[in-house]
Structure 1
């Protein structure tokens, strides 16, 4: 697969050598989200949710999602093949539902259309696979505001949801 092309970027399937770079860029891209989570939840609940710490938990999650047997991970690379973003897709064929599991762009490469390119690529790939519906989830906290703006700009309709947590002594 040649991937989507652009003068300065290309989207291609994940290569094993990309994984470490994706983990690192995801930690940088999502740091504001985790700061927001801790501000909303408080340090006690935040610490219980992300053990031993959010960076380790998130790195493990990225690896798990990218390497899952039913996952389709794709990498957005610069003209010199440097990974600067990624998206992980999955499908629930019984429900004809395409799922965007993860999406991130390195902070130094944000606001250049890379997120929009990854979203358009993901939606088109899931549509071409025969899915009638595409789902992407995100948080309602301030740290996820850029993600919500991207999804809304791509035509997604949000359904507010609330998660409640209680730390028990």
Structure 2
């Protein structure tokens, strides 16, 4: 059984990253759609969440490939991470992280977070941040972040239909 490697993004993995994103978020967005106000979901995803996700992730891969890291096992993509640095806040930010459904629960997400932590420390920054939604679909992510040692800072975001 092969070891997990974390490598810089390579363009040959572009479609695999997008496909993995859709696989990971399909069950999550099913719950999100049921739990957020309909007008909010429709405003964010007028063409559907998958179309928006493909567009957003594709843009990230094209515009900031140096910030994307891939978890690869035996040449196959099993997860990925987007990591930005905010010097003025002394902070690294995990702005996207995903592990293929069939590889979840095997420590790959933890390995990606550990990688992000080490890179952030190497940059001389003092903290690492990750953000997610409070719905039930994202509960496993919140548990993983808390198990890794992240502390929640509650944020209130309000929407009003016009």
Instruction: Tell me whether the two structures share a fold, i.e. TM-score over 0.5.
Output: yes
Aligned to 2:43: 48
**Contact in 2 for aligned 1:87/1:102 (Cα 8 Å):** yes
Aligned to 1:13: 8
Aligned residue among 144, 151, 154 for 1:157: 151
Give the whole-Å Cα distance in 2 for the aligned partners of 1:118 and 1:141.
23
Aligned length: 162
Post-superposition shift, 1:94?
2.1
Gaps of 5+ in 1: 1-5
**Contact in 2 for aligned 1:38/1:46 (Cα 8 Å):** yes
**Contact in 2 for aligned 1:71/1:89 (Cα 8 Å):** no
**Correspondence list, 1:104-143, <5 A:** 104-143=98-137
1:94 alignment partner, SS class: helix
2:105 alignment partner, SS class: coil
**Contact in 2 for aligned 1:71/1:90 (Cα 8 Å):** no
RMSD over aligned CA atoms reads 1.7
**Contact in 2 for aligned 1:28/1:106 (Cα 8 Å):** yes
**Contact in 2 for aligned 1:65/1:71 (Cα 8 Å):** no
**Contact in 2 for aligned 1:138/1:148 (Cα 8 Å):** yes
Of 126-135 and 157-166, more deviation after overlay is shown by 157-166
**Contact in 2 for aligned 1:66/1:88 (Cα 8 Å):** no
**Contact in 2 for aligned 1:87/1:100 (Cα 8 Å):** yes
Of 122-131 and 66-75, more deviation after overlay is shown by 66-75
Aligned to 1:77: 72
Post-superposition shift, 1:85?
0.3
Kindly provide the CA deviation profile for residues 85-144 of structure 1, in whole angstroms up to 9, marking residues without a partner as x. Answer: 000001112222111110000111111111111111111111111111111101111111
Post-superposition shift, 1:164?
2.4
